[in-house]
Structure 1
Amino acid sequence: MRERWPLTLRGTGAVVLAIIALVVAQQAAIPELLYFGVLMLALVLVAAVSAVVGRASGEIVRTVSPEAPEVGGLAEVHLSARLSTPLPTLPGRWSDTLPAGLEGVAEGAFPAAASTLRRSGAPVRLRYEVRGSVRGTATVGPLRVSTTDPFGLIRRRFRVGQATEVTVAPTIVDLAPLPSSPGEAGGTRQSSALQLGQGADNLIARPYAPGDSMRRIHWRATAHRDTLMVRQEEQESSPAATVVFDRSLSRWSPAAAESPGRDRAFETAVSACVSVVARLVHEGYTVDVIDSDGGVLGDPVDGGEDAEARALAASFATLRARTDTPARRVVPASAAAMLGPVVVVTGRLEHDDLLALRAAAPRSALAVLLTVADDDGARDLRSVTGWHATALAPGGDIARAWDDATKPEDARVGG
């Protein structure tokens, strides 16, 4: 009711006093009270006209840092509002409209504003913090300002600027490093091919240094550069890893296909997927992220590019489950030929899925299977599927599940 009532406490009091003065002046025949009542009503009327005629407008620049906050992460929202008002305004209140995916207190005191008829007003800078609560995209704003006329009798409410779209990314959990042994890690992270005597494609020439063998002299480069050059083998490496995210609707609840944040198990799986990508990229792998049907879910992320890994996570803000394909695969058919690490994130598994996983066990020494479901916790997935596998409950500890899946078998037994 208070928000709809156009008068402030002072304005309400002025109207009440005017009515009382008019009633008493009529009953007691006091002309002075009559003049006073009419003056008060005229003052309120002038204030109302000024509020209508002198409507304020403005522009706003809203920035969110970081641009794509994670679920559970904090972000700062900075606003720079520049008002345009023909009449000065008294101090008031401001509030920014927050979507369902963000939580925070987006309101505060708004300073007085001078008239901008002759000169532009200084920008008003505001700030507040929000926390990501639901993965997805939503709009923040518009900014709402509530102030009063110069007499403080009439409330003036107006919007400033437009809304800003904000992306809430899935949470990236810090996972443990991969096993230190190249064999345990899947072979290609530290693999190299030193191809001696295989031609010049894999060789580079460098200047001769004392102690170099004369048999390594690169005669062609020596003749070309007119200085003694020797052969040096160029180490070839092709670190590659693949993360498979199974979005088949049969693995999740129907809510997973409706909108982000509806299925807790699916949200845990999305967070696990981007966390694994971030870990592999940090380890130096170039990571491909694909669906279980072989469809690409994002551009490959180069090794060491942590910022690109976070950008990929932001692109997963609107990711949803899809209808099943006729093949209903858990992993693509090409997974069996992959030498680098292969990580599969999926949901509920049926008996036929377990048999297919065992038949499709890839050649990689690091083939990890993470299942996110309530009913898989008691299964010994590692022995059934032949993968480095573990079950993860919806909303469970992703870091612990990763550690359990990647640790060597003897460490699991010993633990």
Structure 2
Amino acid sequence: MTALWPFTLRGTGAVLLAAASFLIAQRAGIPELLYFGTLLVALLGASAVVLLLTRAAGAVTRVVSPDVPEVGGPATVVVRAGIRSALPTAPGRWRDILPAGLSGHAEGVSPAAAASLTGTGGAIEVRYDVVGASRGIHALGPFEVTTTDPFGLLRRRIALGRTTSVTVAPTVRELTALPPASGEAGGTRQTTTLQLGQGADNLVARPYAPGDSMRRIHWRASAHRDMLMVRQEEQESSPAATVVLDRAVSRWSPMATHAAGSDPAFETAVTACVSAMARLVHEGYTVDVIDSDGSLLADPVAGGDDVEARATAAGFAALRARPDDESRRIVPASASALMGPVVVITGGLQADDRASLGAVAQRSALPVLLVVADDVELGRLRAGGWRAGHVVPGGDIAAAWDDAIEGGYARVDR
């Protein structure tokens, strides 16, 4: 009703009063009421002319901080828009149209606009908070301003500027550290040499992160930096690890091929993928993220580069499922030769799918399998050598990771 009816509450009263004046003047023969009604109509007409002279001035700029929010993560949006009016306008309302991928309260009171016959106009600057609701690239806007005339009789809604693309990245969950056993720490690049026993210069300190052992705290560096620091040995090269995200649509809903955020199971798998990658990078592995057909989904991330791991996760914002290939493999053939940690994330498994997983688990130092499905039998997978975990769509990825890492195949008599 507000969008179709241009009059404010005061303006609606003026319209009804003018109509009543004309009606009573005609019935009762009171010319003064006719003059009064005519004056109200003229006032309404003048208000409409003033509103027509109010228009946008310049482009709308938006600054989103952080520029790539995560699903469930907060962000602040600062909007600056120009308004030009021939006469001063009263305070109005502003609203920024939020897409389905963002949630928040993006509306409020806009300040009064001063007369700007010089053409420079005034500017409106507003700030509001949003939360990432679903992964993807979303169009934020347009920015709408509802202005009223100086008498407050009529309102006009103006759409300013264009939309702004906002990328919402998958959430990177904090996962527990990998097992400390030395046999599970190596990768394909076994030429890694720890520079030990050659002086303190070969030890570097980095900020403490969840999962680091308290035994590795570097007290001198912590006192110097006024924050917890841990010891990390310099390495000539990083061991390698691989994360496989099975994007074959047969393991997901067909909606996963249409748009990001459409299939809850696939969204959980993407979150598990970027979380596992971030964990392995933090552990010092150089990580390749590949599809089940063997294609790279992102450039390799160097070990220890947590910032690059977050940036790589942002590149998965628009990732979708794909049609099946002929082989229907869950793990590409090239991964069978890998000796370092291999983390595989897949969906609902069939009997023939389980049979194709055995060779990889026998060679990898740390074979981890996360199955995103409503129900799955993990006994046979663990018996085949996998540290297997199960997570329902939208479920707790960290708990499934713990179940796989800490239990895995250890529960099965081998």
Band the TM-score falls in, shorter-chain normalisation:
0.7 to 0.9
Corresponding residue for residue 315 of structure 1: 315
Give the whole-Å Cα distance in 2 for the aligned partners of 1:140 and 1:328: 38
Instruction: Map 1:156-167 to 2 at 5 A.
Output: 156-167=156-167
Query: What is the 5 A alignment of 1:16-415?
Result: 16-118=16-118, 120-187=120-187, 192-193=192-193, 236-361=236-361, 363-376=363-376, 378-407=377-406
Query: 2:92, 2:147 within 8 Å by CA — same for their partners in 1?
Result: yes
Question: Is contact 2:383-2:409 (8 Å) kept?
Answer: no
CA distances 1:45-74 after superposition (whole Å, capped 9, x unpaired): 111122224434443211112222222222
**What is the DSSP-based 3-state SS (H/G/I as helix, E as strand, rest coil) of the residue aligned with 1:108?**
strand
CA positional deviation for 1:187 = 4.6
Separation in structure 2 between the aligned mates of residue 367 and residue 382 of structure 1, nearest angstrom = 11
Give yes or no for contact 2:84–2:119 (8 Å, CA) kept in 1: no
Distance 1:300 1:409, change over 3 A: closer
Structure 1, unaligned stretches of length 5 or more? 196-205, 207-233
Deviation sequence 1:11-66 (CA, Å, 0-9, x none): 22222222222333333433332222211111111111222244344432111122
**Structure 1-normalised TM-score?**
0.84
4+ residue runs over 4 A deviation: 187-191, 408-413
Once residues 409 and 361 of structure 1 are traced to their aligned partners in structure 2, the CA distance between those partners, rounded to angstroms, is: 12
Give 2:385's aligned amino acid: G
| Shift, 1:382, TM fit | 4.2
Question: Bigger shift: 56-65 or 6-15?
Answer: 56-65
Structure 1 position 191, deviation (Å): 6.2
* Corresponding residue number in structure 2 for 1:218: none
Which amino acid letter does the alignment assign opposite residue 160 of structure 2?
A: V
* 1:250 aligned partner, one-letter code: S
Aligned partner of residue 123 in structure 1, secondary structure = strand
Cα offset for 1:148?
0.5
Distance 1:116 1:239, change over 3 A: farther
1:248-276 deviation line (CA, Å, top 9, x unaligned): 11211222222222222111111100100
**What is the RMSD computed on CA atoms of the aligned residues?**
2.4
**Following the alignment from structure 1 to structure 2, what is the Cα–Cα distance between the partners of residues 273 and 235?**
26
Are the counterparts in 1 of residues 244 and 331 from structure 2 also a CA contact under 8 Å? yes
Closer/same/farther in 2, CA of residues 92 and 175 from structure 1, 3 Å limit: same
Q: How many angstroms does 1:368 deviate by?
A: 1.0
Displacement of 1:92 in angstroms is: 0.8
Shift of 1:408: 6.2
State the partner residue of 1:10: 10
Aligned length: 375
Where does structure 2 lack aligned partners over 5 or more consecutive residues? 196-200, 202-233
- Aligned counterparts of 1:81 and 1:67: Cα–Cα separation in 2: 19
2:57·2:121 contact (CA, 8 Å) conserved in 1? Answer: no
Percent identity, aligned pairs only, is 60
State the TM-score, normalizing by the size of structure 2.
Answer: 0.84
SS class of match (2:378): coil
Q: Which residue of 2 aligns with 1:231?
A: none
- Distance in 1 of aligned mates of 2:11 and 2:124: 27
AA aligned opposite 1:183: G
